[in-house]
Structure 1
Amino acid sequence: MDFRLLVPAAMVWAVTACGLLAPAGVGVGIAIVSAVVAAAGAVGTRRLGWGAVGLVVVGAGLAAACATSLALRQEARADHPLAHVSGKATVVMTLRSDPTPIGPTGQGRIRARVDVEQIGNQRVSTAPADLRGTAQGWLGLLPGQRVIVVVKVRPPPPRTLLVVSLTAQSPKLVGEPPAYQAVAGSIRQRLQLVAARGLAPDAAGLLPGLVLGDESGLDEELRDDFRAAGLSHLTAVSGANFAIVCGAALLIVRSVGVPPRAAAVVGLVVIVGFVMLVRPTPSVLRAALMGAVGVLALFASRRSQSLPALGAAVIGGLLWWPELALQPGFALSVAATCAIVLWAPRLRDRLRAWRCPTGLAEVIAMAVTAQVVTAPIVVLVTGQLSVVGIVANLLVAPVVAIISVVGTVAALIGALGPPDGVGAGIAELLVRALGPEMWWMIWCAQTLGGPGWASVEVFG
């Protein structure tokens, strides 16, 4: 196994986390120290050789670049005109995420990520901000839509690169979303429609979450059961979603004789298209990176190629979206992917030696390694441990891939034509065919996650 790129990845991760947690001056200091270490290492290669200090040079150089980039972003955030606005202002902004309901049901509050482009009549450089407001006027808007709205400006959330937090009134539309966002929104809405026609209410609210990460219709009680059973990762877009969908596409094209390089291009196109479908938010892009690594681990001729790919994904993700360094979801994705690459094949081989069928051995190995490695992170973040998590993930693992692939196909076909057309009819048949799988997943979540002892408090 090739571990060399994991060391620079760990250094970039640590530097980014320190830069977000510490004052801006600390990041500048880290950048200077890292640059000095990289320069000294480069000089030392003449005497000691690249093999002895090359890893130090690469790691310190990446750390210096990361710290410098982060310090520049923090300085730009502090100097932005929006950061000096107090009270209310009229702004023009572009939505970067779907307005998502928050808080208790019935309060009618939403949250979204936005980019502010104009304050009053003054054009400004794009400023990322956190938006909260009443659901009226916001729900149903798509990412990429431009609006004008009166907002109350507040300080930004800590440990982020957001410029401000905004509390908004009802917006006025001043632009249409990009075509790809409109198409993605239509696909998501049509999947909700055909799911409501073909499934029971609980399953109809769950299916869009399992397929596209759309949790807007998910029942709160069922959500709690999934969380207690250790299955909540299934209702959000994860690296597993990308690996399953992309893996299925690659298996199809490889089975008809497509060369490996052309198949890799197909896989890239599928990942990009899926990102557009489920929204290109930082969490989705993080999942796409991890999913690409998982697909590489599945199809690479040498398993050792997977760890350098994982290291590159971590470095690229953190350089582009530094806030990932403090997001539990990023840590969970990296830990699960690393466990699957390192230990799942060994456990699979051991199970096969015990005469376990190959397919079942793969499922058990991936579920057990991912659950065991991520459990400590979940405990640190939530203070709770799901005592049934491994069992629940093993039980639902056989139907997860079926639901993901068939559900994605149904979403794409269902968007063709009118709501009562042939496409919607075929999609409804596909969704109805998922009824037993959906029933099984819900039954496992309610049976294992329903009892009070399913999740125990570790930290009071």
Structure 2
Amino acid sequence: MRKLSLWLPGLAFVVWAAVWAITGTLPPHEIPGVPTGSIHNVRVELHHDCGTGRAFLGGTLRQVNGRVVTPVEVRLIGVECSRVIPAFAVIDLQVSAKVAPSGERASLVLFSESSDALPQVVTSAPALMAWASGIRASLRNLCAALPGFGGALIPGLAVGDTGLIGADLEASMKVASLTHLMAVSGANCAVVIGLVYGMTALMGMGRWLRVVLSLAALALFVVIVTPEPSVVRASIMATIALIALSRGIPIAGLSALAGAVLISLAVDPWLAREYGFVLSVAATAALLTLSAPIARILARWLPHSLALACALPIAAQVACQPIIILLSPSIPVYGIVANLLAAPVAPLVTIIGLCAALLSDIPLVGELLVGMAWLPATWIGGVAEIVNAAPFATLPWPAGVGGFVLALACSAGIIVALSGHRTAGIITAATATVIAFAISLGIPLVTRWTMPPHWTMAQCDVGQGDAVIVRDGAHIAVIDTGREPAALGQCLDALGITAIDLAVLTHFDADHVGGASRLVGRVAHVVHGPTADEGDDAVLDSFRAGGATVTQVWAGDTVNLGHLAFAVVWPARDIPVEPGNPASVTVAISDVACPERCLSALMLGDMPAAQQITVMRRYPIARMEVVKVSHHGSRDNAPELYAAVHAAVALIGVGAHNGYGHPTAEAIDMVRSAGSTILRSDVDGLVVLSQNQTGGIEVWREKSH
């Protein structure tokens, strides 16, 4: 067994690396007769519940335009369901198609951006899956009535449903390094198995019966929470351990983990490229190998139990941080402390919340149980909020492969130091850290030295989201915040902005207000459109708590910023629209003190084409120097509006390889046909616009082509 524990983890790593490399080069499966951009009637078997607020839905394509095709995996975007449709139901819907990039699980990306074309259920989900979907929906409905952040977190921790988590809470959890507590993870599987195995042991059941009941509970739990990547890893690892236990065979934790990795990749090779799976494996490996030596070091100054408690989040962060850098290039300064405070109560939320879901049909029992789970869940959310509001909650780190390599070197140095080579390890980790901080802190300085000093508008590179800065002398306005506070903060630092006069929140999707916490306490006035729920209200409450005045605006209102007038042209009081994209606050910006050829811009948020046409009919659209293209360059845009605006520059806030297919080829052709030069945040990085002496626009790009 000792030899097995030595070579099996190495084999698992080699297999994972090979599968990761091979799947990254595989071209998508082509389906003849499915031209991209055209509208198709498709039949898809869902892999996730539809109607729970999930941005992406996975599925298997069965038919196209009535023709049976070779089943391939697809990713559905923009699909709206009037009711919850359970996973594994088969639906018909109208979509446009785009071939997915190489190296992705899905062969096609299917877009349904019209709320009028609702999917129709052709085949209901199997009874077990429908029951599990009902369990998740029951818990979500119970928790929706609870106040604060606690109700939003319970469904995620108990059954993996994150639909109630708003952008503000999600951002706080990321800053506090608590995102693993927003949804079911491998740790939840361990909680369920430990509870069942312990209870059956107390009841005097034999080993075989305990194992069988534990495996049955695990299988039922996976059905309820759906087989997310980390759950797959944990359930297979737990099954290996339980079978070994039933046969009296000792097995090392690393061997069970390696076996789980090999089996997982044999069943589904694409798991090798899933961040959730890789992070789960890395964290588990770190807990098995690094926590003990870290605890021994900490035990020199701390009691043994406290040293072990501190060692667990330290080990996980050492192993996972290089991977997390690829997702969010920043270091959570208080992440370890936040996990020490929040993680111990997470099993209570999981157990009580799961019981509430299973017993929700019994009058008052479900309400009582979610009320009990609300307190520890609120504690978790409160820890995240406190950490998010703390000074220096995150430190910048270089993005991309370079940032990953530096973080990997830092983690490797720590591991080398723990293994006994203290001096070499410390030097390696310290050198990587110094280089990373030098790059992160030096880039904003270089950026500020090279950009034009008298710029008037900037588009931040905040990934898949919008954040535009408008300046009139010393007066600053921010239009949307992007998804990540750290990304917005890096942009503001690069522009040398510390105080903000005006923030315009076009709507409350996460990719537009997720970075709002970065502005709290720094902005004087916030204007916004209609809110949809308590999560939206919480974003506004955070601004009020930071000293800002908060105002809802409608078409006809005007907000001033120095000499600039922000004329609101949408939404209209007399035309009902649902909150979200259709109600995006749209502003026409003009310089009232400038006679001609001065800054003018139309900021469209995520306004759909139907509302764009309505605005054209109600508001005299004149030529503008700048247009912010709606919805990151989606198909849902009106060419007539862009032709009328005839902007010199079109800004598109979009993330590289975003998975939505933004910007679409149709949108790019539409904007170019209107005579506009396209500036994209994924291609150009931070973009700064200024005016020359003749009134023309000069463009500065962070990224050279």
TM-score scaled by structure 1? 0.77
1:16 matched to which residue of 2? Answer: 19
Alignment of 1:283-432 (within 5 A): 284-289=231-236, 304-347=251-294, 356=303, 358=305, 363-414=309-360, 416=361, 423-432=362-371
Question: 1:100/1:316 Cα in 2 relative to 1: closer, same or farther (>3 Å)?
Answer: farther
2:214 matched to which residue of 1? Answer: 267
Q: Which amino acid aligns with 1:190?
A: S
Q: Which amino acid aligns with 1:328?
A: Y
Q: Distance between the aligned counterparts of 1:283 and 1:366, measured in 2? A: 18
Q: Distance between the aligned counterparts of 2:243 and 2:326, measured in 1? A: 30
Q: Which amino acid aligns with 1:405?
A: I
1:457 matched to which residue of 2? Answer: 396
More displaced, 210-219 or 376-385?
Answer: 376-385
Q: Give the conservation status (yes or no) of the 8 Å contact 2:151–2:374.
A: no
1:127 matches 2:64: no
Question: 1:81/1:317 Cα in 2 relative to 1: closer, same or farther (>3 Å)?
Answer: farther
Instruction: Report how many aligned residue pairs link the two structures.
Output: 392
Q: Which amino acid aligns with 2:232?
A: L
2:198 matched to which residue of 1? Answer: 251
1:146 matches 2:90: yes
Greater share of residues in helix: 1
CA shift for structure 1 position 446: 0.6
Secondary structure (helix, strand or coil) at the match of 2:109 reads strand
Q: Distance between the aligned counterparts of 1:373 and 1:167, measured in 2? A: 36
1:28 matched to which residue of 2? Answer: none
Q: Give the conservation status (yes or no) of the 8 Å contact 2:152–2:162.
A: yes
CA shift for structure 1 position 402: 1.3
Q: Which amino acid aligns with 2:390?
A: P
1:446 matched to which residue of 2? Answer: 385
Q: Distance between the aligned counterparts of 1:99 and 1:385, measured in 2? A: 34
Question: 1:296/1:156 Cα in 2 relative to 1: closer, same or farther (>3 Å)?
Answer: same
CA shift for structure 1 position 342: 2.0
1:92 matches 2:27: no
List gaps (5 residues or longer) in structure 1.
25-73, 103-108, 417-422
CA shift for structure 1 position 8: 1.6
- Larger Cα-atom Rg: 2
Q: Distance between the aligned counterparts of 1:302 and 1:368, measured in 2? A: 31
Question: 1:370/1:282 Cα in 2 relative to 1: closer, same or farther (>3 Å)?
Answer: closer
Q: Give the conservation status (yes or no) of the 8 Å contact 2:91–2:119.
A: yes
More displaced, 301-310 or 112-121?
Answer: 301-310
Q: Distance between the aligned counterparts of 1:456 and 1:349, measured in 2? A: 28
1:437 matches 2:376: yes
Question: 1:299/1:394 Cα in 2 relative to 1: closer, same or farther (>3 Å)?
Answer: farther
Q: Give the conservation status (yes or no) of the 8 Å contact 1:91–1:119.
A: yes
1:223 matches 2:170: yes
1:190 matched to which residue of 2? Answer: 138
Q: Distance between the aligned counterparts of 2:300 and 2:327, measured in 1? A: 37
Question: 1:195/1:85 Cα in 2 relative to 1: closer, same or farther (>3 Å)?
Answer: closer
Question: 1:427/1:7 Cα in 2 relative to 1: closer, same or farther (>3 Å)?
Answer: same
2:226 matched to which residue of 1? Answer: 279
CA shift for structure 1 position 216: 0.6
Q: Distance between the aligned counterparts of 2:49 and 2:21, measured in 1? A: 30
CA shift for structure 1 position 252: 1.0
Question: 1:404/1:439 Cα in 2 relative to 1: closer, same or farther (>3 Å)?
Answer: same
Secondary structure (helix, strand or coil) at the match of 1:177 reads coil
Q: Which amino acid aligns with 2:10?
A: V
CA shift for structure 1 position 201: 3.4
Given candidates 71, 96, 99, the residue that maps to 1:155 is 99
1:58 matched to which residue of 2? Answer: none
Q: Which amino acid aligns with 2:314?
A: V
Q: Give the conservation status (yes or no) of the 8 Å contact 2:52–2:84.
A: no
Q: Give the conservation status (yes or no) of the 8 Å contact 2:50–2:57.
A: yes
Question: 1:298/1:430 Cα in 2 relative to 1: closer, same or farther (>3 Å)?
Answer: farther
CA shift for structure 1 position 182: 1.4
CA shift for structure 1 position 296: 8.9
1:236 matches 2:183: yes
Question: 1:238/1:225 Cα in 2 relative to 1: closer, same or farther (>3 Å)?
Answer: same
2:155 matched to which residue of 1? Answer: 208
2:514 matched to which residue of 1? Answer: none
2:61 matched to which residue of 1? Answer: 116
Q: Distance between the aligned counterparts of 2:271 and 2:389, measured in 1? A: 32
1:71 matched to which residue of 2? Answer: none
> Per-residue CA shift, 1:190-242, capped at 9, x if unaligned?
11232244x32321112111212211111211111110000011112211111
> Per-residue CA shift, 1:359-416, capped at 9, x if unaligned?
x5654343332233222322243211111111000111221111111111121111x3
Q: Give the conservation status (yes or no) of the 8 Å contact 1:303–1:341.
A: no
Q: Give the conservation status (yes or no) of the 8 Å contact 1:6–1:307.
A: yes
Q: Distance between the aligned counterparts of 1:147 and 1:344, measured in 2? A: 47
Alignment of 1:8-87 (within 5 A): 8-22=11-25, 77-78=29-30, 80-81=31-32, 87=38
Q: Which amino acid aligns with 1:93?
A: V
Q: Which amino acid aligns with 1:128?
A: E
Q: Give the conservation status (yes or no) of the 8 Å contact 2:100–2:106.
A: yes
Q: Give the conservation status (yes or no) of the 8 Å contact 1:100–1:111.
A: no
Higher relative contact order at CA 8 Å, sep ≥6: structure 1 or structure 2? Answer: 1
More displaced, 296-305 or 158-167?
Answer: 296-305
Q: Distance between the aligned counterparts of 1:23 and 1:144, measured in 2? A: 26
Greater share of residues in strand: 2
Question: 1:216/1:458 Cα in 2 relative to 1: closer, same or farther (>3 Å)?
Answer: same
Q: Distance between the aligned counterparts of 2:200 and 2:368, measured in 1? A: 25
CA shift for structure 1 position 123: 2.2
| Same amino acid, percent of matched pairs | 29
Question: 1:293/1:225 Cα in 2 relative to 1: closer, same or farther (>3 Å)?
Answer: farther
Secondary structure (helix, strand or coil) at the match of 1:204 reads helix
